[in-house]
Amino acid sequence: MKSNPSLPAVMTLEKDEEILSGYATVDIPQVGIYKLLAKKKVDNTIEWAHFVERNNGLKEKVMRGTVKSFDELDIVIDAINNNLRKVFGVTMQPAEYEVRTLDGKKASETMH
């Protein structure tokens, strides 16, 4: 998931937090790409952020939550995918993501 470093981050990583996964739909004409990022927090919970990235890089309709396990995260992803399938006929699939520092430099994709 590539992003414009000049735009605000959807999710930030604190010390010892780790990005677990990223998901994205195909580009939906006149809408953009729906995405989800999930990170493991220090307390072992999983925080997620779901949003649509418009063609100009703007991220909108950001929803956030925290779950206790991978099973609960799967329930969130399934619910989102069910809605995306009904509305647009697409689902999110595992996707690459890019982690950047606050000044826009590319960072490690794991521990920070």
In residues, how long is the chain? 112
pLDDT at residue 96 in the model: 80
Q: What is the per-residue pLDDT across 21-69, written as a single tens digit (0 to 9) for each? A: 999 999 999 999 999 999 999 999 999 999 999 988 888 988 999 999 9
The residues spanned by each domain of the chain are: 18-94
Q: How confident is the model at residue 12 (pLDDT cuts 50, 70, 90)?
A: confident
pLDDT at residue 61 in the model: 86
Provide the whole-model pTM.
Answer: 0.80
> 8-21 as b/e, with b when 16 or more CB fall inside 10 Å?
eebbebeeebebeb
- Cα separations in angstroms, 15 against 32, 42, 43, 64, 77: 31, 8, 12, 20, 26
Q: At which residue do the structure tokens 């010390």 appear?
A: 15
